[in-house]
Structure 1
Amino acid sequence: MNSVDFAVLPPHFAGAVLSLEEWESVMPGYTTFYPASFRVALPFLLASIVHHRTWLQHTLDQSHPLFCSLLWTSGLMTKLVPLVHLGSMQNSATCIPPHVSLSQRLERVESGLTSMTATINSCLSTLPEALSSSVAAALSSSPPIALNWSMVDERITQMMTAILAENKQCHTVCACPNAPEDVVPDPPVPETGFRMWTWNGKIHNVPPGFAFPKCKTCDL
């Protein structure tokens, strides 16, 4: 009852699969001898026999009366095989505890996560090779360029200088040319004289070659 298999529906048909004539051919007296309350259960019995036909053939003796019955010898079994449903919602399930339905959903989530993990691991294992191939293809489409560390350092320095200049320009207050005449622009911000130097690929507060004096503060 605590297993998700508790909610699996038994073998059943989606609807009526045999006509009254076919029922009479495999079960004489179907409409006259058997009561209506019993006939309601017969489709489930028939679906179970059709679903377990292979197991019955391997388990029961060949002389078992089932194999001599009209149902087995009429040829209807072959017709009914694709019409049997198992574990699907072609039939409504009742009296299923709520925690069983929740367990079914958690099982589907766990199965999905397992599949997703396998897919991600597969992508990660092939990512380095795919990235290398993509970079190689991009480089092969353009003429090769010999790079060295000095060129990289120079390029980084240029980028940092451009960023500093753009940042300074964004923070500079200037009068708007389209401003109304009665609006007095803010006074320009005086230069503070603060400066930074870029060398060895980094931004410094002192120029290149700067060294602190080797003396005590009291001697200054």
Structure 2
Amino acid sequence: MLDIRNLRLAYSSPDGEPPTPVIDTPDWSVAAGAQVALVGASGSGKTTLLNLIAGIVLPDSGEVRLDNTDITRLNEAHRDRFRADNIGYIFQSVHLLPAFTALENVALGMKFAANRAGTAHALDLLEKVGLRERARYFPRQLSAGQQQRVGIARALANRPKLVLADEPTSALDSRNRDAVLDLMQRLCTDIGAALIVVTHDEAVARRFPTTLHLSDINRVN
């Protein structure tokens, strides 16, 4: 489902030094519906790899294929549309819009997809994450764990084939961490989406059927 081939990215140095390699992944595949934890230290390139997979950042070379579409060969507008239709992204900092309610934050993600669902679908997602009664609450009125659950609902709004999660529980205590992970894994299973979570936390990684260290797939580390 996801196939990466010869993916490379280096960051240019402002002082004229040679570029610093960040990602060098010769071959990595993730099957449809798989759930994978990718473990690495802070600054090791985990977020950069997710951004490459999502088409937010373009590589220096290589391929990122999702269902045989090479994201790296799409122009920016087509990458944005492809991402909206096929990829859900759960951020470390949830990035909810503060002036929008929980319901509006979830519904907003649907506006960029080809198959737009309505408010009823957004409410259904909030019910699945246990927040239907807080649909009209603003982010400031929600706890960190509740905000992250809204972020999960938003990421799943377009029924993606792939969900990417960047340290999604780093701001949560162990109880909320486990609840959010259980919810995320269950909902991805329900819609048949593959899930890739990057984390520095081995306790998070142990909850996944497949665990890799970034150094297993990235020759820079």
In the superposition, the TM-score normalised over structure 2's length comes to 0.21
- The structure in which a higher percent of residues are helix is 1
Quick one: higher RCO (CA 8 Å, sep 6+), 1 or 2?
Answer: 2
Larger-gyration structure (1/2): 1
- The structure in which a higher percent of residues are strand is 2
In the superposition, the TM-score normalised over structure 1's length comes to 0.21
